[in-house]
Amino acid sequence: MATCDRPIRDRSNHFVITALSLGIISAVFAIIRLIYKGFFTIAEFGLDDWFILIALITGLTCCCINVVGVGAYGLGRDVWTLQAAEVTKFVEFFYILEVMYFAEVALLKLSMLFFFQRIFPGREVRQVIWGTIVFNTLYGLVFVFVAIFQCSPVSFYWESWDGEHEGKCVNINALGWANAAISIVLDIWMLAIPLFQLAHLKLAWKKKVGVALMFGVGTL
């Protein structure tokens, strides 16, 4: 590429701007919710609020890694323009992001589930929610554990690219697809819980639609 004088492409700024924008917007809404709950209502902090706070800290950490990690070490740039040390650093940060992503997805779902626990008093639905909480917790722990130890040795994850190190890894693409598939099914299940409860409420259909949309947006 260098010999042929091909143009050097660099879209890293686009990625950094996108990561910062979405990270800041998400953080602002989460902080507004926590401040309002803590200072402008008489309601006490519940498990849903604490898990939102933990997810917020995790998300802000990921945002920082996106900017000073993968964004600074090559994402959006042609690999032939990078030094060997930059490629290794990029993959190291990407490894951290992968693990934290699996944790963050589970944390967000737990926050929503504990919110359901707070607003739905029925014994049967609470048992369903607790079962979903247990499943989601195990799902999150399993994928975080597998992501951490997906390569043997662990360092082979960021050293394998040069072909000079020995080790083995699970199929990373299969791991990502499996996590996404379970997450989507769990999202649909979590959305069905409040919608099923809503169907039994004596409300006008317009109010039911409004409440259903609220839960739908929240789940998404």
- The 3-class secondary structure across 20-67, one letter per residue, is HHHHHHHHHHHHHHHHHHHHCCCCCCCHHHHHHHHHHHHHHHHHHHHH
Which class for 59: exposed (0-12), middle (13-18), buried (19 or more C-beta within 10 A)? buried
- Give me the mean pLDDT over the 78-107 stretch: 92
pLDDT tens readout for residues 125-155? 889 999 999 999 999 999 999 999 999 999 9
DSSP, collapsed to helix, strand or coil, labels residue 194 as helix
Task: State residue 87 phi and psi, 5-degree precision.
Answer: -60, -45
Q: How far apart are CA 44 and CA 177, in angstroms?
A: 38
Please list, in sequence order, all residues whose beta carbon lies within 8 angstroms of the beta carbon of residue 140, skipping any fewer than 6 positions away: 102, 103, 105, 106, 107, 109, 110
pLDDT tens readout for residues 40-68? 887 788 898 999 999 999 999 999 999 99
| CA atoms within a 13 Å half-sphere pointing along the CA-CB vector of 48 | 15
Model pLDDT, residue 12? 87
Binned at pLDDT 50, 70 and 90, residue 204 comes out as: low
Give the angle subtended at the CA of 177 by the CAs of 57 and 219, to the nearest 5°: 50
Residue 120 has pLDDT above 70, yes or no: yes
DSSP, collapsed to helix, strand or coil, labels residue 168 as strand
Q: How far apart are CA 147 and CA 176, in angstroms?
A: 9
- Give me the mean pLDDT over the 104-126 stretch: 89
